Amino acid sequence: MVYRGQLSKQWENRTAAFKRLDHNHENITPLIGYCDQGNEMIIVSEFATNGSLDYHLLDPDKSFCLTWAQRMNICMGAAKGLEYLHWENRAVIHRDMKSSSILLDNNLDTKICGFGLSLLVNGNQPQIYQRPTGTQFYIDPFYKESGMVTTASDVYSFGIVLFEMLSEMLAYNKRSIDDSTMMTRWRSSLIPL
C-alpha cells in the first residue's frame, strides 16, 4: 500500500509518498534502520557472519569446503528470495544479481542484498532504459542490447551465479577449462550414490 502524507516543517511541509511493505522474506537481507541526517546517509542491515558468496568462491580452500548439500541450500535460498522479489503484483527487479549480492549467515543460509539498482514494477511489465546497469559479466544480453529489463533479466544473472557455484569459478576470473587441479578437486568432491 502507498499512502500520501505531509512531512514536518523541518522537511518544508513537502507532500510525500509512503510505501508500506510486507514483512521481509527469510532470504532477503532485512533492513534494520537508516539515518538521513545532515550529510550522513546510512543504511543499517543484518550482518552476514560468513560474508558474500563470491568471497567463498574466490578462495579455493573456502570453496572446496562447501559441500554439495550446502551449495544446494545456498542456491535454493537465493532462488526463493528471487521468487519472492518477482511476485506477480509488485515485482522487484534486482538488476545486479551476482555472487557478491548473496550473503551467507552463520548457518550458511542465503540473504540477497544490494538493492541499489533495483526497480519496483507492476507485474512483469518491461521497463525501458537508455543504458543498462549492473555488473558486466552478469547482465542479461537482451537487456544489454535492447535496454528492456524484466524479471527474466534477474533469472539470467542468477544462472551465471549457478554456473559459478558448479564450476567454482567467478564469471570474471579467467581460467582454463582443462585446468587439471580443478578437475582433481571436482573428482574428489563427488559423492558416490
**pLDDT tens-digit readout, 149-174:** 889 999 999 999 999 999 888 988 77
- DSSP E strands: which ranges in 76-128? 91-93, 102-104, 110-112, 119-121, 127-128
96 as an active site residue: the answer is yes
> Looking at residue 131, what is its pLDDT?
82
Q: Name the catalytic one among 96, 109, 178, 179.
A: 96
pTM > 0.85: yes or no: no
Give the contacts of 42 (CB within 8 A, at least 6 positions apart): 34, 35, 36
SS3 content of the chain, % helix, strand, coil (to 5): 40, 20, 40
**pLDDT tens-digit readout, 103-145:** 999 999 999 999 989 988 876 566 777 688 999 999 999 999 9
Q: Which of the four pLDDT bands, split at 50, 70 and 90, describes residue 193?
A: very low
- Residue 185's CB: how many other CB atoms inside 10 A? 14
Continuous H helices in 113-172? 141-146, 151-167
**pLDDT tens-digit readout, 68-88:** 999 999 999 999 999 999 986
Q: Which residue's C-alpha cell is 559479466? A: 137
Q: Is residue 91 pLDDT above 60, yes or no? A: yes
Q: Is residue 92 pLDDT above 50, yes or no? A: yes
